[in-house]
Chain A
Amino acid sequence: MVDPAWEEVVESIDSLVMDAVESDSADLASVVKIHDKLIEIAAVVFDTPYAGIGEIAQKTAELAMSIVLQEAEDPAQALDVVVEATSTLQCMAREVLNDRSPAYVPIPDALGLNAEELFATREIDAEDFEEEPLGLDDTITKPMERMTETGEHLAEEIVVSSPTPAKTKDAPLPNYPQFEMGSLTSSHLDDFLSEMDELITRAESLLMTLEKAEQQSVDAIQELLGVFHTVKGVSGILKLKSIIDLAHEAEVLLEEASHLSAATINLLFNSVDVFKAYSRSLHSYRDTDNFLPVPQVEPLIAKLKEVDLVTPPKHKPKQSKAPELKPQVVASDKPAKPTTAATKPAPPKKARQTVPAPVETSQIETGKLATEKLAIEDEDRYLKSQQHGQEEVKIKTNRLDALIDAIGELVISQSMIENDPEISRITRAQTVRNISTMSKICRQLQELAMGMRMVTIQATFHTMKRMVRDLASEQDKDIDVMVSGEHTELDRNIIEAMYNPLVHIVRNAIDHGIETAAERVKKGKKEKATIYLKAYHRGGNIVIEIADDGQGLDRDKILQEAVKRGILEEDEQYPDEVIWQTIFTSGFSTAQQVTAISGRGVGLDVVKKSIARFRGIVDVSGKKDQGTIFRISLPLTLAIIDGMLVKIGAERYIIPLTHIEEFIRIAPEQIATVANQGQVIKLREQVIPVFSLQHLLRVCSTGEEHASIGVIVSWEGKRCCLLVNELLSQQQVVIKTLGDDFNKLTGISGAAILGDGRVGMILDVQNILSMVLNATGLAG
């Protein structure tokens, strides 16, 4: 059977071929476009049984990239191969459409791919996917894909709660961490905090696994025990009594347990939250010398002590054993000293041996053994669990930043040397070769350095999972989280900045998107709702998708509200995208009532702004009762952009290519004045407002020049024409910040060092567009 979505694939390949045929190896932008389309196609196709086609697309995309990066020996010839390969893809796609195998279409030799191998092995892979949607393939997972294919989707109330208010359920009297720094230095504190944070993450993921598992494995419980034990150990260094007591109590409980009830797991989650609160508090102490309040541990310890271990029915003796055991455990607890934490498991162990519990003995025995070894092993084990055979070294981020900065400087001075007129006059072959070797090494270094800034999105997704779990149980909803592409790497700064927007969107999905179980059943949906978190690459961007299968967006309601607010006109026909975009307007909310968490219309506009700050775009789509998809598209790295170097007045500026639609030559008489205020030009029957950048930015003028070139820029459907004096060249530039003092500059997002070593400003097109169009009312 041919998947109905395949037609779309064929369509996009067709458009690709059209682009490819018209491309020219000298016109890099056209090649980049081809590359992006290829990657897009590859991503979609990889998830079908015809992954071989994806492989070809991928390979072709690589080739296209090599042309762009000027690595191809003969760009024109390489482009020919690319064009040929696109035709191949076209043929293959049609074969598939007609229910025939694509394996018989000849593949261009230059790609170095073997058709039979490609399709034989790949088909097996595709089956693997089926069974394990969360497999290592970062690009796409099944459930998500299905969703996009059938075009399901989302949220009726698009609300907009204020950025997740911090939980303020603290005790009336703030409690602060009690600990002794003694002779300890702040570096001990650093070590403690970094270790603690890792342990917290580890504990959470173990707890979540246990919570979901049908059959809880003793190993997992033991590992959790190990984590709590280590928490106790590291807290001993700082003599954090509350943490030590709490961790100890949890440990005692876990030593006993062979099965954890939902309530117990909840208690353990709460304990981990306490660790978190302490960690946050100490973080703040380290950074600002102020503690944040932390919750009291005593009630929790008491609850942990009360836990009646729920055992699987066959272990009946256990129930009667529990009360007997408790006093002993409590007794052994008292003499325990924090500093001797590592040796502490010994006394409780002895006490327990006297307990007659035949069925349990072997398990307790193993538990004990494990505990003894744990002190030595848990660190090893912990490392092992994360490294997958690769050694890792912890490096302080500021050192890493310094290294990356230094490499950046190296690359810049290298390019200055290379472009120096004196140097380019050198003809001696050896010298020229040496210089080019140096350039190559510099580029390599730069790539490596960029790579070091990248971290996977795994930790963020992990936090989201935890949040969904908490919120779902709070609101009595049953929600599953499906994650894919968690190994996708993003710039560290972007990941940090994406945290709040993601929290917001996920919260919205739970609060408003997903219905209660009863409603879901009524609508004929599965009782258990699902939230999909997905990250993947698409055309030089990273896309993060947050989707749910809740009640979706209510088109009519949103349109109504948008009309009420004067954002849209009542009788016009709008495409869905335009309507969906309105929910990102400040103050927008369709909620009938303002509740504690939502309805005030603050939120999605903030989300949008914080994403836009990183040159990202967010959009939303969905259908009533089928679900909502938020798609955040972010640049791979913050550090580099493709830009067009232009001359404005006496200065040079860089306009990011992503915003440029086209360049036009403008004669003064083409510009018409509107009401003696704004200026417009007519371009292909459309009227576009014109602004002189020199005027807007107040750039000094040298006097005689005349701005005759129009750069048409667009963002979110807004367009305008910016006048510049001269187009200089297209180049990749490394973005440098101007620092806090200058972040209020309008229309300028940063600076870049140009080939000659001088500084050029990077224009903030979004900012300019929203400013000029709002000011003149010529939008649209």
Chain B
Amino acid sequence: MTDLANIINALQLNVLTKQKDFSQIQVENGYTSDLLSCVMAGAPHNSVWVTLQAHQNIIAVAALLDLTAIIITEGATPDQNTIDKANEEGVNLLQTQYNSFFTIGKLWELGIRSGK
């Protein structure tokens, strides 16, 4: 378990949504899939979700599941609408140039596990 500030720092993530005190946000679990229904079924709440998807619907999924953050990989960039919606729903959007496999490896090193 670690906090979101530590993750952002260690993975050098780009914060797309509003800055906040990420050190207060604890992260226990992680999940990855690019299929939204699988995320719906499998992501533990308060987890970080690693995905290649960058369209608006990922925000609804994260909000409904109370996910801590979404890490969008391979430099995929959501549009402004998606970022606005994320701010509205309080979902943290993070971005990396690395691919999902590398990102998950790093998260594992930080002590993030799959939860279920």
Whether both chains belong to one complex is answered with no
